[in-house]
Structure 1
Amino acid sequence: MNATTKVKRRHFLIGSAGTIAAAAVGGPAIGQDGSEPLPDYVAWKDPDDFIVHSKQTLETKRAAQGSELITPSNELYIRNNLPAPPDEIVADRDAWEIEIDGVANPGTLTVGALKTLGVETVVCVLQCSGNGRAFFDHETSGSQWSVGAAGNVVWTGVPVRAVIDAMGGAAEGMNFLTGTGGEEIPEGVPKETIQVERSLPTEAIDQAILAWEMNGEPMPLAHGGPLRLVVPGYYGVNNVKYVRRLALTAEESPNKIQQTSYRVRPVGVSGDPSQPSMYEMNVKSWITGPLMDAATGKVQIHGVAMGGVSDLEKVEVSTDGGQTWEDAKFLGPNLGPYAWRPFILITELSEGTHMLASRATAQDGQSQPEEFPPNERGYGNNGWRVHAVDVTVS
């Protein structure tokens, strides 16, 4: 089975009167018959916009992504490696404490104290490492994400650089920025086997923030409140929730999530520290749906695109499975190199079935490949062909 026939795409029927019928794929439709309600800790989200993979993994449906510049909090996907802590931790947000180590003057700061050290707002994509995993031919463990484990989010907090400077600067010999999550560890379980603790190269310090707000509101518990490490341009696992400790360290964390998990390796090979870790995101785009202008009979194709760690140069759209390409137009302002940009192309489609694909190119020269090589855990898939959608015009 080739990649084209294997893809679980959305199929659209565009009628002559301008109506659009869409059949969702990739998981159960929730919130329609009440058979699969959202878990209590995310009950405030819109159930009609999600596919529930588990209590800790909720995928935003492709159609719900639309052409929104910022992803509303109630439509943002959920991926938690461990159950969220009890909601008591957000009762007094400013009292939450974080330990700062690997600096000249290590100590503990409250969120209230962090707010006096500096404030910055950054817009960036939050994306799970496995977004696009469902499109690989081989069987992969983990949630079978298609495109819905991503969103564009506004974060507000204190720059990590400002915190380090306030604590006297970095100690000598430190090579990593290590964040430790505050999830509860079950009794009797060695913490290094499940604790969320990620170590990043020190160059990540310059863009990282300790965020207490998301989309202009206090950080929701489900997304890491009261305090979350946010590293623009890096995959979601590095954006540690409920962060309890931030340290400059000489070595990487010894925890499993650092040493063997989130490592890119060939299919059938076990993870080990010598393999590349899921750090910086790659350039990527996908179609989020066609719309129909009944008055003109033209089709509006739209989607979202990201440059990973670079501004976008362009997005091209193909209506014939990649045989020809046309430049799309960006919608809205450029919110920075780490944010996604909605795009649009208005075009005529003849009667029949068309494969609509998008291909993004970043200013650093990276462009989406047609195919992305498989890897054991299904990480980082940005191949444009498998992200395409089929449209039938009648």
Structure 2
Amino acid sequence: MITIPRRHFLVALAGTAGAATSLRTLAPGIARAQEQNAQELPEAVSWKDPGATIVHSDLTVETERDAIGTSGITSKDVLYLRNNLPSPDEVAVADRDAWEVSVEGVAEPRTLTVGELKRMGVETVATVLQCSGNGRGFFEHETSGSQWRTGAAGNLLWSGVPVRNVVEALGGLEDGRNFMTSTGGESLPEGVDPKEVVVERSVPVEYAMEHAILAWEMNGEPVPRAHGGPLRVIVPGYYGINNVKYVQRVAFTDDESDAAIMRTGYRVRPVGVDGAPDQPSMWEMKVKSWVTRPLADVENGTVLIEGVAFGGYHALDKVEVSTDDGESWQEARLLGPDLGRFAWRPFVLEADLEPGTYTVTSRATNSEGTVQEEVTEPNHRGYDYSGWRRLAVDVTVV
């Protein structure tokens, strides 16, 4: 594993904190960032569209709310970036098939190259990739970290080998394995306890065996280095932090990882309470939707209200749109093909609106009958604000 000077690591963290401070003063429920293009795109993602992104720091870039189209798939050029640590050097993707991942907790543990994994099978899954902090900027209490609104999410196609195929090829699981624990290959800072900074996450083994893949392809291309290439764990229906980048170790373990990012990090807890292993972990995503267009003035007549919606851990059932701040609702039309349980669906409502100002929002319902919440209760780290009321936008029809 590559190491980097501790000074560089702390500078990266300071950049994240600075961006959070500058955006924290913005009122909850805003639709767009006021500080767009305040910073240039980080070098690692200089190829992204600067007009469709908001730079929070060298490790965090948000998608503009109206940059999500109606095709259903998010282009890498507008996809958000959220990295906990700097990416490995470019040598990691110089020969992608040579990247190695060790597999432990199976009858025949061994280290496999990406090239070997490609001979074990392949599947493609469409799934929402969403940062745990998406919507943090809508909470009223002060939170550390990037003040995301709606732009820390995307819908992508991932291709790779199912984890169950790898386990079967290596003789099956050892007894008593309750979790799949994945370790990322990011550069670690010098002079810091690795367990305090390493990206290492555990998910329930039954779920991983059914749904998880080791992906080398994103939207039909090699996974970009900034987004976890050459190999990334994909756990459909789970928050982004569980989709470990640059994965170099997959261990089937009795217990959850004791790394700080698992032990105390990404835990849902009351404001002011420290993280602890007995608190809910950021695993299964919630049902959620938001309007992406229009966000400003529009001409009167038929107005196309567009957005995206997903069922979280379960499939999406329907989306409703309100133009009067939730007083009444109309069912929207889902667009494009159904890409499966874990994908989002674009939606549209054709509304005939007279001149005036309208508070427009949406709410989704999944296949289990769970309706998107109106308000998200505060939690210490500001994880996944999903309440439809503050996700609303004010639209003036002229």
**Structure 2 residue 343 is matched with structure 1 residue 334:** no
Match of 1:162 in 2: 165
Q: Which residue does the alignment assign to 2:294? A: 290
Structure 1 match to 2:383: 379
How far apart, in 2, do the equivalents of 1:270 and 1:27 lie? 32
Kindly report which structure 2 residues correspond to 1:193-232, keeping only aligned pairs within 5 A, or say none. 193-205=196-208, 206-232=210-236
Counterpart of 1:346 in 2: which secondary structure? Answer: strand
SS in 2 for 1:73: coil
Question: Which of 30, 35, 38 is 1:28 aligned to?
Answer: 35
Q: TM-score, normalised on structure 1?
A: 0.92
The match for 1:173 is 176
Q: Is 1:265–2:269 an aligned residue pair?
A: yes
How do 1:273-284 residues align onto structure 2 when only pairs under 5 Å count?
273-284=277-288
Report what 1:234 is aligned to: 238
The unaligned stretches of length 5 or more in structure 2 are: 1-25
One-letter amino acid of the structure 2 residue matched with residue 308 of structure 1: G
- Which of 114, 121, 124 lines up with 2:124 in the alignment? 121
Do the aligned partners of 1:291 and 1:300 also contact (CA within 8 Å) in 2? no
Percent identity, aligned pairs only, is 59
- Offset from partner CA, 1:269-300 (integer Å, 9 cap, x none): 110001000001000000001299x9982100
After the TM superposition, which segments of 4 or more aligned residues of structure 1 sit over 6 Å from their partners? none
- SS of residue matched to 1:244: strand
The answer to whether the 8 A contact 2:107-2:172 is kept is: yes
* TM-score relative to the length of structure 2: 0.91
Q: Which amino acid aligns with 1:264?
A: V
Task: Please give the per-residue CA displacement for 1:300-320, whole angstroms capped at 9, x wherever unaligned.
Answer: 000000101211111000000
Matched letter for residue 265 of structure 2: S
Partner of 1:7: 28
Structure 1 residue 65 displacement after superposition: 1.3
Take 1:74 and 1:232, find their aligned partners in 2: how far apart are those partners?
A: 22
| Range with greater deviation from structure 2 (277-286 or 366-375) | 366-375
Aligned to 2:96: 93
**In 2, are the aligned partners of 1:8 and 1:26 still within 8 Å (CA)?**
no
SS in 1 for 2:353: coil
Instruction: Give the gaps of 5 or more residues in structure 1.
Output: 11-24
Q: Distance in 1 between matches of 2:389 and 2:47?
A: 35
Whole-angstrom distance in 2 between the partners of 1:290 and 1:48 = 17
Structure 1 match to 2:193: 190
d(CA) in 1 for partners of 2:189, 2:134:
28
Secondary structure of 2:301's counterpart equals coil
Contact 1:321 1:355 in 2 (8 A): yes
CA distance in 2, matches of 1:271, 1:194: 15
What is the aligned-residue RMSD (CA, Å)? 1.7
Aligned partner of 2:20 in structure 1 is none
Equivalent position amino acid for 2:82 in 1:
R
Give the Cα separation in 1 of the matches to 2:124 and 2:98: 21
Task: Quote the residue 2:18 is aligned against.
Answer: none
1:190-248, CA deviations, whole angstroms, 9 ceiling, x for partnerless residues? Answer: 10000000011112211000000000001100000000000000000000000000010
Residue 74 (structure 1) aligned with residue 74 (structure 2): no
